[in-house]
Structure 1
Amino acid sequence: YDQDDERARFVFESAERDFRIKVGFVASGFNSKAVLYLSHDMFRFYDPDRFELHVFSTGDPDNPNFIRYAMRGVDWRERVRTNVDRFHDVRRYRNDHVGLARYVYDLGVHVLIEWDGYARQGERAQGLFALRPAPVQILHQEFLGTSGAQYVDYIVTDEITSPRRLEGLYTEKFMYMPNHFFSKGHAMQREVKLPTHEYLPAKKPYELGTGTPRENRCLADPGIGPERPSFVYCNFNKFLKNNPDTMRSWLRILRDVPDSILCLLENPLEGVPNLRRFVNDACSDGARGRQLCGASGAAGMNARIHLLPWQANPFDHQTRSQDFCDAMLDSHPYNGHTVAQDALYGGVPIVTRSDGDDMSSRVTTSANAVLGLRDLNAHDGSERYEEIGAELGLNSTMHGTLRRGLIESCLDRDPMHPYWDVPRYVRNFQRGLTEAWERYLSGKPPVHIRVKEAE
């Protein structure tokens, strides 16, 4: 089609009295995927007088038994469906990107938002955006990096996650959001419990929401590791996010904080023997191993690393973070994303490296800045990361102050803290979408957009 003719058509259309910007969201993850856990509530807060919302779902719905038992009857897909103008189940076009592009184009969508990026190969609508079915196309949330494509106009980020010096490395223009670049629905979901300053008495056997991390000991068997840990570090990411350098940093932190333990997830269970083997080999490597692991040695270090079974239900993750973690040691160069939000909303401070350039390596750096936890951002690499991690475990006053402030940010309601405020996020995002659309109507090319805080 002729782009000038298209623009003229949209300019004429936008002059109509009841005009609304048609925004389409395309994703395979309109089910129990993490992106919807964080973001399904945002659809409730769009201005219906200004925006017409369309969802294009290329993925399968969840199995009814999974919804009934694992999700306790909560169906995020249906929640989205009830809060948008039209929900389009387009699985029939999963392998027909031309057909899907025609379908989107015929609906007259103005702004098309991609939630998959290069994630979820085999489910995502490959080739759709290359056909330019909408005049403004945006990459948002799931895939944290450039598409490398000329047909994606903007990528949603913030100025800490994506410093200005990196603008030239992206084919997209940056849409800089205030506060943080993606939505977090924890405070909006009644199924997610609020964190508490005080811990409930521990129960034997363990019950969700009871005991301190040091009492619960990552559910370790008696006699394995310290009976009363001095501090409990955790990381509940999948193993694939953790590399040897990160693991060595964790071992050095355990070495420097006597009787501390590290709590991980069996995710996947098949990876546990490899983890144990790595610790054994690293600690047994002659003088280097002794320097790395100290007096604990391989057996002692492995006894201080405990693993929880993976649990499918997402609503308990925040509470489990509070029950099992004094602090989270973030992964690098791919941070915890959903896992990190669960930890933060459980009142668990996160130590993160801030020396990366990739979006995926700076998510927690930005979160800590917004939440007043900048002291936990290690801008000078692994050595500083280890120093901060050890200091947090040795300085109970520092840890207590950070934890109290973080929990207060979660409990704030009038007004809600900007980091957790989904209505505020949507108001800001609407401003960004409106500016991108108006630039298109005026015939101007995309530029970096710095969204101003909405009233």
Structure 2
Amino acid sequence: MSQPNQTSKLAVMQNAKPQFPEFEKFAESIKSQERAKFAYEMKHGLRNNRAKDEKPKDTAQKLLKKARALILKHENKQAETVLRQAISLEPKDASMHALLGEVLMKDSARLMDALSCLMQAVKLEPTFGGHYALIGTLLMRLQKFEEAIDYFEIAVKFDPKNYIALSRMMHIKAHRARWDGFEKIPTYLKQFNNTRVLSDPFAFLSLCDDGEFQKQRSLSQVRAKLTNPVKAPIYTGGRPAGKKLRIGYFSNDYYNHATMHLMGGLLENHDRDRFELYLYDYGSKMRDHEHHRARQSADVFHDIRHMTTAQIVDLATRDGLDIAVDLKGFTEGGRLDMFNSRVAPVQVAYLGYPGTSGLKSMDYMVADRITIPSHLRKHYTENILYMPNCYQPNDESRYIAQMDDSRESHDLPEESFVFSTFNNPYKVTPREFDIWMNLLKEVPDSVLWYYVSNADIIDRLRKEAEARGVDGARIIPTGRMQPEYHLARLKHADLFLDTFNVNAHTTASDALWAGLPLVTKTGEQFAARVAGSILTAAGLEDLVTTTEKKYHDVALRIAQDPDYLADIRMRLAASHTNSPLFDTQGYTRDFERLMERAFQNYLDGNAPRSMGISAA
């Protein structure tokens, strides 16, 4: 899809009559489909919804309200049918076309149909910012990020209070290392201080380190979309002695994904004499080795991707879960709605989202004393289940490929010190980048090995380096690789430089498992404290800093003091066998004890409360 140029954008702003010739073919291509659907609906009585003497407009509005209720329950097929009925009665109502586009967008195979609906909405209401915001969201799904930014900017121009568009615009700019306007972010963020403002909680994690702010973003999302949370049923007794604890894990990441990289060993090491595992998959993208591994680990594996919320709740209830574990939160495709309706008497947020869910029916969140110390507990709506060491599981069986490669094969200098960052680019801000460029100046001939595969982003970063007095060629790009090969290449780096607002999470454990030291700075929110927890569990507390100056000084010392680097590497190698970070079986036993305590608290008739266990 072509990106709107400045002329077309100006036409949109000034004349309010945008032209989108590239979309005309979509509208034309579906006309025959629309006629066929109309005939089908007439045949099956789907268009006979008007009460006697009721005006078509009033009927259409009733149908629109019904469709919105269906969408909240994830009954999207029914919602589509109802919306098409409404549109047949009020074909010039832009909001109906837009909502239909939003529904179709939920199916990755129907994005072009969704786009046709959204463009029809734009033609009917060319100055309504919400339609452009939806197109921007669809372009995000298509990974047309630069075009998405343009549409979000148009949305915000028409409607400065379209906070969804504003938050997504800022988030994608971070993904693209577009730091123009970075200084405006604090001003932008002030607009979100109203708890009624609806926005994407995940989009803000990298934009600021503020636990209370992140909590309010979660609460605003929940208040807008998830009403009447279901309380846990009162335990009335009758549980057979010795009955296995039944745990249900809910996710759409049972494939080659960071979540499975971390918890594959946990699933495989669960004590089957005491626990039964039910895995609920609502949309894994692939059926690969990791997917097969998850299926093999489960006593029961349910594919629930086509189920409505009500159907999922009914299934989980029939399965008789004791504990339900949400592995997604506000990350892509998350389904907090089912937890709002309650799928088990004890519900736990775990691993996937580094922040609070804001959900009253989410009883617990798994953490540790570093990620959520007692003085920061106020930023979380859940009660905290404290693991004795790091909250994050690791799989001690992870395979590192044996590669006959060299630094040269990765375009790295053989003798120079290699700084590296393997975090997703959206986590990097000018704050970190300034420090990194100073380190390159202070360590002659050093380079920065940068995880970024897009050519225009690396060009942008090199220009940023040159603006800071550093030769842009000293930034060496590297892209995505299969996990075992990614782990293998890490041996060619000397030090991993972490990001601040959102630390390295899985990426930090990857680095340490591969023998690559990491230096981090600990902040306030959960996402800014994860690497500190990981390093502490590995016995490398001296690489955890609390200020930007200390972060810089520790990194510089490692680069300039070969003996200190050798000592770190020796301790890091020992951590593979003597630290709790890489003790998968020990972690699993601790996790199981924590789940048992939480469930026993329920059986005892107590309300959820924060609790922890000591190391075994």
TM-score range, shorter chain: 0.7 to 0.9
The 8 Å contact of residues 22 and 111 in structure 1, kept in 2 or not, is answered as yes
- Structure 2 Cα separation of the partners of residues 269 and 434 of structure 1: 50
Is 1:450 the counterpart of 2:612? The answer is yes
Q: 1:348 aligns with which of 506, 516, 522?
A: 516
Code of the aligned partner of 1:58: Y
- Structure 2 Cα separation of the partners of residues 368 and 109 of structure 1: 35
- Structure 1 Cα separation of the partners of residues 294 and 448 of structure 2: 37
1:127-206 counterparts in 2 under 5 A? 127-185=337-395, 187-189=396-398, 191-192=399-400
Match of 1:91, SS state, is coil
Measured against aligned partners, the alpha-carbon deviations of 1:20-58 in whole angstroms (never above 9, x if no partner) come to: 111000001011111101111211211112111100000
Aligned residue in 2 for 1:332 = 500
Measured against aligned partners, the alpha-carbon deviations of 1:259-310 in whole angstroms (never above 9, x if no partner) come to: 21110122444422222232233x2xxxxxxxxxxxxx24x2x121111232
Aligned residue in 1 for 2:432 = 246
Aligned residue in 2 for 1:114 = 326
The 8 Å contact of residues 58 and 91 in structure 1, kept in 2 or not, is answered as yes
- Structure 2 Cα separation of the partners of residues 116 and 269 of structure 1: 31
The 8 Å contact of residues 177 and 450 in structure 1, kept in 2 or not, is answered as yes
Task: Give the alignment's TM-score, normalised by structure 1.
Answer: 0.81
Q: Which has a greater percent of helix?
A: 2
Aligned residue in 2 for 1:429 = 591
- Unpaired runs of 5+ in structure 1? 68-74, 194-206, 221-226, 284-296
- Unpaired runs of 5+ in structure 2? 1-228
The 8 Å contact of residues 61 and 77 in structure 1, kept in 2 or not, is answered as no
Measured against aligned partners, the alpha-carbon deviations of 1:382-427 in whole angstroms (never above 9, x if no partner) come to: 11111111111000000011011101222x2xxx532101111110
User: What is the CA distance between 1:210 and its match in structure 2?
Assistant: 4.3
The 8 Å contact of residues 239 and 267 in structure 1, kept in 2 or not, is answered as no
User: What is the CA distance between 1:252 and its match in structure 2?
Assistant: 1.1
Is 1:219 the counterpart of 2:411? The answer is yes
Task: Give the alignment's TM-score, normalised by structure 2.
Answer: 0.60
Is 1:56 the counterpart of 2:264? The answer is no
Q: 1:7 aligns with which of 216, 221, 235?
A: 235
Q: 1:259 aligns with which of 445, 461, 470?
A: 445
- Structure 1 Cα separation of the partners of residues 455 and 325 of structure 2: 35
Is 1:35 the counterpart of 2:259? The answer is yes
- Structure 2 Cα separation of the partners of residues 270 and 438 of structure 1: 55
Aligned residue in 1 for 2:473 = 303
- Structure 1 Cα separation of the partners of residues 290 and 339 of structure 2: 25
Query: RMSD value over aligned CA atoms?
Result: 2.0
Q: 1:88 aligns with which of 281, 288, 302?
A: 302
| Larger displacement relative to structure 2 (130-139 or 16-25) | 16-25
Instruction: Please say which structure displays the higher CA radius of gyration.
Output: 2
- Structure 2 Cα separation of the partners of residues 347 and 364 of structure 1: 15
Code of the aligned partner of 1:421: D
Measured against aligned partners, the alpha-carbon deviations of 1:135-194 in whole angstroms (never above 9, x if no partner) come to: 110000010101112111111111012111111221111111122101111x223x335x
- Structure 1 Cα separation of the partners of residues 440 and 613 of structure 2: 42
Which protein, 1 or 2, shows the higher relative CO under an 8 Å CA cutoff with sep ≥ 6?
Answer: 1
Give aligned pairs, total: 388
- Structure 2 Cα separation of the partners of residues 378 and 3 of structure 1: 41
Q: 1:405 aligns with which of 571, 583, 598?
A: 571
- Percent identical residues: 27
Residues 56, 270 of structure 1: alpha-carbon distance in 2 compared, 3 angstrom cutoff: farther
Code of the aligned partner of 2:534: A
- Structure 2 Cα separation of the partners of residues 352 and 245 of structure 1: 13
- Structure 1 Cα separation of the partners of residues 506 and 343 of structure 2: 31
Measured against aligned partners, the alpha-carbon deviations of 1:214-246 in whole angstroms (never above 9, x if no partner) come to: x548414xxxxxx55431110111211111111
Q: 2:250 aligns with which of 19, 23, 26?
A: 26
- Structure 2 Cα separation of the partners of residues 399 and 159 of structure 1: 28
Match of 1:419, SS state, is helix
